[in-house]
């Protein structure tokens, strides 16, 4: 059972209402119910009225594939399958900063754990090494701009090497991408086949920091990373489309490799083109194209709709496709 204080902290954060306002609502709720509920109980009811979920998000041994962006208090057990080189950079205050990442998996998917400055001692002192199994406590999740999962550490987080009981594989066991019609999909991993019926007019060229992959801001001196200052940007391609499979439509977003594979366009070639010219070129290359895609369906919080984050653009298996078509046709009989 959460204490009133714990509920209030969570509620303040999620509802963006002041403590005073929340306490007043809780008091009012208790009065409405003639004092029949405790203040904790009333707080839960207020949370419900505000449409806020205050179920604590701590779970034991959460699987990586089940971790959603912005989850907190994450506890999970993973294997380190890679460690990036440590990169140095200059901070805004002129001091040197360092960053390195652990690439980890639990077999369900991969995640990146960025380590900053002092945290890198974990690697330098070989407290943790490649192939080790580690337990992570109190991490929080973020989705990086390419739809990948990042586990971030705060000062309350812990990483600890644990005994290798062989319970965790050394690589991602390929997730099953179940073929589904768009009308039947929910959040999860799927394979879909459809036609590109529209392309959003968003800037397809996305500049990122070569050190941390973050999005860069442009000002009159150049491209700037909030962490690493001015850097030589990396050009990335993003193509945002609408796919129609006859049963429904979905917004499908192609990042980097998937976008290049789809369009046959190298992002560097768009550097000297306007957004309109770039979109025209992309449209020419992909509009109307029949595509087979694997990816992950996520809820887009801004549009409150489902969105397909493309992992791979696949080749058609003609035999499989015609068999599927025959099955479909016979199902109408
Ligand atoms: Zn950076």
pLDDT, average across residues 177-206: 92
Tens digits of residue pLDDT in 61-100: 688 988 888 888 899 999 999 999 898 888 878 888 898 9
Number of domains, the chain = 3
How far is CA 116 from each of CA 86, 97, 121, 217, 329, rounded to the nearest angstrom?
A: 9, 8, 9, 21, 56
Residue 58: band (very low, low, confident or very high) from pLDDT cuts 50, 70, 90: very low
Q: Please report the pLDDT score of residue 199 as a whole number.
A: 96
Q: How far is the CA of 13 from the centre of ligand 1 (A)?
A: 28
Share of the chain above pLDDT 90, in %: 49
**76 shares its domain with 35:** no
What phi and psi, each to the nearest 5 degrees, are found at residue 132? -70, 150
Q: Extract the tokens encoding 144.
A: 């990086």
Residue 8 has pLDDT above 50, yes or no: yes
Q: How far is the CA of 96 from the centre of ligand 1 (A)?
A: 13
pLDDT, average across residues 272-284: 95
Q: Is 252 exposed, middle or buried (0-12, 13-18, 19+ CB in 10 A)?
A: buried
Least confident window among 180-194, 230-244, 248-262, 297-311 = 297-311
Q: Extract the tokens encoding 130.
A: 């490649």
Q: How far is the CA of 222 from the centre of ligand 1 (A)?
A: 14
Residue 289 has pLDDT above 60, yes or no: yes
How far is CA 237 from each of CA 4, 70, 266, rounded to the nearest angstrom?
A: 47, 25, 8
Q: How far is the CA of 216 from the centre of ligand 1 (A)?
A: 8
Residue 30 has pLDDT above 90, yes or no: no
What phi and psi, each to the nearest 5 degrees, are found at residue 20? -60, -45
Q: Please report the pLDDT score of residue 106 as a whole number.
A: 92
- 167 part of a folded domain: no
Residue 225 has pLDDT above 60, yes or no: yes
**212 shares its domain with 128:** no
Q: How far is the CA of 114 from the centre of ligand 1 (A)?
A: 12
Q: Please report the pLDDT score of residue 242 as a whole number.
A: 97
Q: Please report the pLDDT score of residue 158 as a whole number.
A: 87
Cα–Cα distance measured from residue 77 to residue 56, given in angstroms and rounded to the nearest whole number: 19
**200 shares its domain with 76:** no
Tens digits of residue pLDDT in 127-138: 999 999 999 988
Q: Please report the pLDDT score of residue 59 as a whole number.
A: 44
Q: How far is the CA of 285 from the centre of ligand 1 (A)?
A: 32
Q: How far is the CA of 210 from the centre of ligand 1 (A)?
A: 7
Residue 141 has pLDDT above 90, yes or no: yes
**In the listed set 136, 162, 188, which residue is the last one of a domain according to the structure?**
162
- 125 part of a folded domain: yes
- CA torsion sign for 37, 39, 45, 49 is positive
**120 shares its domain with 210:** no
Q: Between these two residues, 323 and 190, which has the higher pLDDT value?
A: 190
**In the listed set 162, 192, 223, which residue is the last one of a domain according to the structure?**
162
Cα–Cα distance measured from residue 79 to residue 111, given in angstroms and rounded to the nearest whole number: 10
Residue 54 has pLDDT above 80, yes or no: no
Cα–Cα distance measured from residue 31 to residue 42, given in angstroms and rounded to the nearest whole number: 10
Residue 57: band (very low, low, confident or very high) from pLDDT cuts 50, 70, 90: very low
Q: Extract the tokens encoding 238.
A: 């993003």
Domain with residue 268: its CATH number is: 2.40.50.140
**139 shares its domain with 254:** no
**323 shares its domain with 182:** yes
Cβ atoms of 76 and 136 closer than 8 Å: yes
The neighbourhood of ligand 1, an ion, using CB within 5 A, equals: 209, 211-212, 214, 225, 227-228
Q: How far is the CA of 213 from the centre of ligand 1 (A)?
A: 6
**115 shares its domain with 207:** no
**225 shares its domain with 302:** yes
- 170 part of a folded domain: no
Q: How far is the CA of 148 from the centre of ligand 1 (A)?
A: 16
- Owning domain of residue 26: 4-44
Neighbours of 301 (CB within 10 A): 10
- 295 part of a folded domain: yes
| pLDDT averaged over every residue in the chain | 87
Share of the chain above pLDDT 70, in %: 92
**308 shares its domain with 238:** yes
- 30 part of a folded domain: yes
- CA torsion sign for 304, 179, 257, 131 is positive
- 172 part of a folded domain: no
- 31 part of a folded domain: yes
Q: What is the separation, in whole angstroms, between the first and last Cα of the chain?
A: 56
Q: Please report the pLDDT score of residue 300 as a whole number.
A: 80
Q: How far is the CA of 157 from the centre of ligand 1 (A)?
A: 22
**184 shares its domain with 327:** yes
- 51 part of a folded domain: no
């Amino acid at each position: 059972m959460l204490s009133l204080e714990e509920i209030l902290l969570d509620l303040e954060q999620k509802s963006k209402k002041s403590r005073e306002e929340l306490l007043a609502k809780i008091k009012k709720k208790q009065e409405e119910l003639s004092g029949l509920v405790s203040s904790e109980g009333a707080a839960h009811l207020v949370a419900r009225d505000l449409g806020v979920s205050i179920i604590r998000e701590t779970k034991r041994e959460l699987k990586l594939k089940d971790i959603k962006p912005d989850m907190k208090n994450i506890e999970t057990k993973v294997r380190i399958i890679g460690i990036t080189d440590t990169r140095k950079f200059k901070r805004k205050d002129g001091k040197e900063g360092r960053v390195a990442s652990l690439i980890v998996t639990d077999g369900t998917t991969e995640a990146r754990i960025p380590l900053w400055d002092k945290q890198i001692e974990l690697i330098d002192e070989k407290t943790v090494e490649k192939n080790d199994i580690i337990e992570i406590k109190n991490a929080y999740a973020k989705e990086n701009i390419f739809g990948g999962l990042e586990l971030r550490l705060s000062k309350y987080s812990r990483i600890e090497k644990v005994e290798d009981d062989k319970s965790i594989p050394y690589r991602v066991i390929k997730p099953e991408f179940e073929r589904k019609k768009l009308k039947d999909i929910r959040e999860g991993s799927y394979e879909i086949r459809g036609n590109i019926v529209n392309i959003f007019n968003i800037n397809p060229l996305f500049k990122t920091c070569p050190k941390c992959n973050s999005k860069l801001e442009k000002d009159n001196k150049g491209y700037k990373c909030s962490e690493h200052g001015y850097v030589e940007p990396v050009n990335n391609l993003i193509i945002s489309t609408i796919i129609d499979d006859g049963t429904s439509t979905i917004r499908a977003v192609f990042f980097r490799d998937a976008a290049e594979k789809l369009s046959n366009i190298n992002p560097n070639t768009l550097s000297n083109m306007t957004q309109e010219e770039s979109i025209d070129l992309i449209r020419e290359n992909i509009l109307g194209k029949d595509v087979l895609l694997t990816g992950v369906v996520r809820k887009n919080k801004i549009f409150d709709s489902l969105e397909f984050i493309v992992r791979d653009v696949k080749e058609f298996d003609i035999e499989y496709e015609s068999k599927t078509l025959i099955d479909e046709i016979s199902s109408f009989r």
